[in-house]
Amino acid sequence: MIWTAVRRTRIPRTRPTWFVLALLGLLAPLATPSVASADSVDDQRRRVSQIVDELERLASQADELGEKYSDTLAQQDAIQGEITEIEVKIFEMQKQLAVMQANLVGSAKRSFVAGGSVGSLSSILGGSGSLSDAMKRAYLGSAAANIGAASTDAMQGLIDDITKEKSKLEGKKKQLASTATFLSNRLSASDKMLQQYESLRAQALRDLGSLLTEEERRRAQEAETAARKEADKNRSSYKVVASSPQAGVAIKAALSQLGIRYRWGASSPGVAFDCSGLTQWAWAKAGVSIPRVSRSQYAALTRVPVSQAQPGDLLFSQSTFFHVGIYLGNGQMIHAPRTGDVVKISSVTWTRVLGVGRPN
C-alpha cells in the first residue's frame, strides 16, 4: 500500500515529466551490462536507494492527491447536508405560510358574510373583477385585522424569509455543482499519478529485480519497527474513561493489540489486523457482534453526531479507502492504519470523519 499522510503542498504540473527523466537516468547505468559489471555492489545499492527514494516521492504525491480528493469529498457531503437543511426549512416555512393565508382568507370570508357583503366578497376572491390585486389584499387584510387574525405584514415577512432561503439554496446548489467538477478533476489527476507510479515501478522492477524488492522490504521493516516502538510507549500508560462497560471492554481489547502489524484482510490477535478487523474483534470481546467490513459497519451501526462521539464509538473516514478506528476520547483514536504500519494511537483528523457509529 503506497498511501501515507504527507504535508500538503501544491503539486507542480511539471513534476511527473521531471520524475520520469530522472528515474530513467538512474535506471540507465543499471540496465547496461558493461557498466553494471564494472560497478561495485555499493554503487548499485546506492543507485537502487536513489530510485526507491524517487518512487517513494511519487507515491507521496499520489497520496497527497488522494488526501485532497478526500477533503473535497467531505466538502461535498457538507454542502449536500446544508442543502437538505435549507430545503427542510423552506418546506416548513411554506407550510406556515399556507396556514396564514388560509386563516386570512377564512377571516375575510366570515367578516364579509357577517356584514352581508357576499356579493362584494365574490369579486374580491374571484379570479376576475374590477378590483386590483392590491385592493383585494387591502380588503382581506383589513377584514382579517378586524377580528385579530395574522396581519399581512407578518405574512409578507414570512414570504421575504422564504425568498432569502431560496436564494441561499440556489447558491449552495451552484457550489455543489462546482465541487462535483473539482472532485472529478482531482480523481482523474490521482488516477493518472497512480498509473505513472505503477508503470515506473514495473520498469524499475524489470531492470533491478531483487535489488529493488529487497530495498523496499528493508525500508518497510524499518518503518514497522519504528511504529511498533512508538505504539509500545502507550501500551501500559494509556488511560481511557469509557462511556459504558461494554465500550470499556472493547477499548481494553484494542489497546492490548498495540504494536501488532497491519495486514489487509487480517483479524488475528497477536499476529495482524486490518482496520475493520480490529474494530470487529475488539467489540466481539465485549459481546457485541458487528459486520466485518468497514462499509458494512458504517451502514449497520447506530449513527450519532460527530460532536457527540464518546470513547468506544467507531470513527469512519474516507481516505484512499473506507477507514475505521475506535475513539478513545480527547481527540485520540486507536486503529490499524495501513500496510507497513501497526495498531497504534493517533490524533483524530475531524475534518475527515464522515460519521460516527455506536455499537450496542
- Positions annotated as catalytic residues are 275, 323, 335
Q: Pairing relation of β-strands 332-335 and 322-329?
A: antiparallel
3-state secondary structure of 317: strand
Give strand pairing partners of 325: 315
Alpha carbons 271 and 99: distance in angstroms, whole number: 65
Alpha carbons 192 and 268: distance in angstroms, whole number: 35
Alpha carbons 333 and 139: distance in angstroms, whole number: 66
Dihedral (C-alpha) 205, 211, 212, 214: value to the nearest 10 degrees?
130
Q: Pairing relation of β-strands 272-273 and 261-262?
A: parallel
Cα 233 to the chain's mean position, in Å?
Answer: 30
305: cell is: 453526531
3-state secondary structure of 122: helix
Place of cell 469512519: 316
Q: Pairing relation of β-strands 302-304 and 344-347?
A: unpaired
Beta-carbon contacts of 300 under 8 Å, excluding residues fewer than 6 positions away, are 290, 291, 357
